[in-house]
């Protein structure tokens, strides 16, 4: 990763459990990536909705690949 810039990927939220604070994002290439609420960018209560489009980076977590710096993609009007 030259210059510290990570590759941003896009995907859709497969499911997210607010009570447990985690879920999975389905990548465009079909693989699922674990996402923890602490990886969601923003203030206040951080959550994701099923089917929501997001951008994210993939990092190595304690149990394998996981999403980082997750941002919601604004709906096109």
pLDDT in tens, 4-46: 567 899 999 999 999 999 999 999 888 999 999 999 998 888 9
> Rounded to a whole number, what is the distance in angstroms from the first to the last CA of the chain?
34
Q: What is the mean pLDDT of residues 53-65?
A: 93
77 contact partners, CB below 8 Å, separation of at least 6: none
CATH architecture of 2-72: Beta Barrel (2.40)
**CA dist 10 → 4, 19, 25, 43, 71 (Å):** 19, 25, 9, 21, 10
Q: What is the mean pLDDT of residues 50-64?
A: 94
Q: 10 has which bridge partners?
A: 55
The answer to whether 25 and 70 have CB atoms below 8 angstroms apart is yes
């Amino acid at each position: 990763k030259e210059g510290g810039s990570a590759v941003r990927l896009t995907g859709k939220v497969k499911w997210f459990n607010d009570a447990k604070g985690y879920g999975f994002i389905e990548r465009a290439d079909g693989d699922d990536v674990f996402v923890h609420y602490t990886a969601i960018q923003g203030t206040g209560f951080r959550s994701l909705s099923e089917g929501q489009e997001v951008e994210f980076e993939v990092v190595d977590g304690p149990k394998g690949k996981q999403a980082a710096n997750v941002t919601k993609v604004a709906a096109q009007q």
